[in-house]
Structure 1
């Protein structure tokens, strides 16, 4: 008699599972549980090939293992950059300690060497370059009460009239917002044929964390080596955080914080004065920030910038605020240009500038410089799309914010 394979029986109408068939001479087999995969899940199940997978493919478990290994390798190779990034943020002991342990482990095994070699080959700034910046004592001079009379005349820079053969030397520095703005300013400035410009911006930097990047020291070195005649500076977006003063820390919003920040701003301005009085500092005010940007107290730092600049004839404060708000003074990411066409000026983070926003800020900075160097005026060629409407102008005075402490 020929033995045949029994056909599977159809499911029961009531949806219940049929009892397992009883093999000849044996007990009925227990039904396989529906969650068999999960009850038998183990490292071996993850790693071993699955017999049911298609040829040339990898099991889902193996994919997870490979992804985890790749992420671990990437973290170790980039450990130095991760640690440096963590240092730029507000005091975060846990985050910094974790990054420090990972960086120490990776450096000991020389796992960070490939990343450093690639950065060096591409001309990028390496961690050793950053470590060369002295993060110790800040270079600050005492802020004066304010010059008067003949003192003003003796300290007011007289910028020479540039020519195509001998253009003005401009240096543009600041935080990541200066990235787009600086590129647009450099392009518009060089298009005049009367300015050469260098762009030098550092993301996540400012004046609150000289232990991360020491702008006063760096800019003094720039002045000594490049001798710029026009120095364009912009800070503030990363500065609203705790500052270390001696062995203690001061927190944003307190009189102590404002006093320390004013000291740093005034000291930097003071150290930027050229001994021969032929350098003008254009200090661009911090931009208004939009909803969910996580950046506050911009009116307060702008008030400090403006009032400190007013004490020094070699510093001109450029009031960016009116050019990035609507008629009621409210933040708007999109505003009309000089031709009445809407321009998206801010990125989705409500912090950084788009190219159009960079153009708008660059054109107003150059227009302000042209007031000091009349020879530039005929060469300014910003299009209506690059300019704000003519009725928008800088404020006569940056108002003192409500709640700003007296005597600071």
Structure 2
């Protein structure tokens, strides 16, 4: 039998049990009514979770994001390619055009060779010295050499393009004169005139092509002064001066690297150094020379093979 002492002890513990049960009920209610995310954090794993995962637990495949297509760059319209000029064999009696001078004269000869490539009656012969000029006559003396060149090549026309190397000191007597000083200029005029007189004595007609503008601004004032001298020498010795300046400057007279070619299409005329001439630039130099050259040769038009003047090789007075 249960003793009276144990019954009394059970009665004393009853309030504590009732209180514990009440706390347990309240806690359970809080669990069931807690926010969904709290329940999901506190609950354990079950078979239901494996078979039927909640939306928040499902692994969704990543949405493929299509990259935006890059806008296509608008390509600049290319200028029409210059048609290739058919090269024809020159006739035995083709008239020789002798081109003399410095490295620019060499480029001019290339341009003329292209211009007259389809003309069997005209042959371009280049006899240039790239580093030559009037200042360094110790390198090459044009007034002294021109007669022998003409005797060898027997040209119908001579074209001179010289002066791009002449912006340097010149030895006059025993003194080295500064470029374009008074004594320098007098000696320069004398040397250029000596070449003009030598050409005149051969009785071969000649064209004197002026200097173009250059990318180095300090050069241009000198080149313009040189062109004035060349113009005067050519006229006083029976030649003709060909001015190419406007073909290599813009409307304001400033040097340009690119500009219109002989067909009016924008092209690169000069190299990055602002001195050398590109293929299109060489052709443009020749373009300025074609008309007076055709007139001397007696061609009906540039490129025409019909002549109306003296026979090949004979001087035209």
Question: Which bracket does the TM-score occupy, shorter chain normalised?
Answer: 0.5 to 0.7
Give me the TM-score of the superposition, normalised by structure 2. 0.63
Which of 264-273 and 173-182 deviates more? 173-182
**How far apart in 2 are the matches of 1:207 and 1:176?**
14
Hey, what does 1:226 align to over in structure 2? Answer: 153
Could you tell me which of 183, 204, 222 is aligned with 1:297?
222
**How far apart in 1 are the matches of 2:263 and 2:173?**
52
1:305 Cα deviation from its structure 2 partner: 0.3
CA pair 218-210 structure 1, distance change in 2 beyond 3 A: same
Contact 2:262 2:287 in 1 (8 A): no
1:349 Cα deviation from its structure 2 partner: 0.8
Contact 1:192 1:379 in 2 (8 A): yes
Hey, what does 2:163 align to over in structure 1? Answer: 236
Note if 1:320 corresponds to 2:244. Answer: yes
Could you tell me which of 367, 370, 376 is aligned with 2:294?
370
Contact 1:168 1:196 in 2 (8 A): yes
**How far apart in 2 are the matches of 1:219 and 1:190?**
26
1:364 Cα deviation from its structure 2 partner: 1.7
Q: 4+ residue runs of structure 1 moved beyond 4 angstroms? A: 292-296
**How far apart in 1 are the matches of 2:128 and 2:281?**
17
Q: Secondary structure in 2 aligned to 1:377?
A: coil
Hey, what does 1:207 align to over in structure 2? Answer: 134
Contact 1:336 1:342 in 2 (8 A): yes
1:292 Cα deviation from its structure 2 partner: 6.7
**How far apart in 2 are the matches of 1:241 and 1:319?**
23
CA offsets 1:257-297 (integer angstroms, 9 cap, x no match): 1111111111111011245x3x1111110111113786761
Aligned residues: 216
1:252 Cα deviation from its structure 2 partner: 0.8
Could you tell me which of 259, 283, 299 is aligned with 1:335?
259
User: In the TM superposition, what are the counterparts of 1:171-190 in structure 2 within 5 Å?
Assistant: 171-190=98-117
Hey, what does 1:255 align to over in structure 2? Answer: 182
User: In the TM superposition, what are the counterparts of 1:95-244 in structure 2 within 5 Å?
Assistant: 166-244=93-171
Unpaired stretches in structure 2, ≥5 consecutive residues: 1-89, 306-317
**How far apart in 2 are the matches of 1:296 and 1:193?**
41
Q: Secondary structure in 1 aligned to 2:100?
A: strand
How well do the aligned residues superpose, as a CA RMSD in angstroms?
Answer: 2.2
Which of 369-378 and 257-266 deviates more? 369-378
Give me the TM-score of the superposition, normalised by structure 1. 0.49
Hey, what does 1:394 align to over in structure 2? Answer: none
CA offsets 1:292-346 (integer angstroms, 9 cap, x no match): 7867610010010001212122x11111111111112111111123543211100
Which of 218-227 and 343-352 deviates more? 218-227
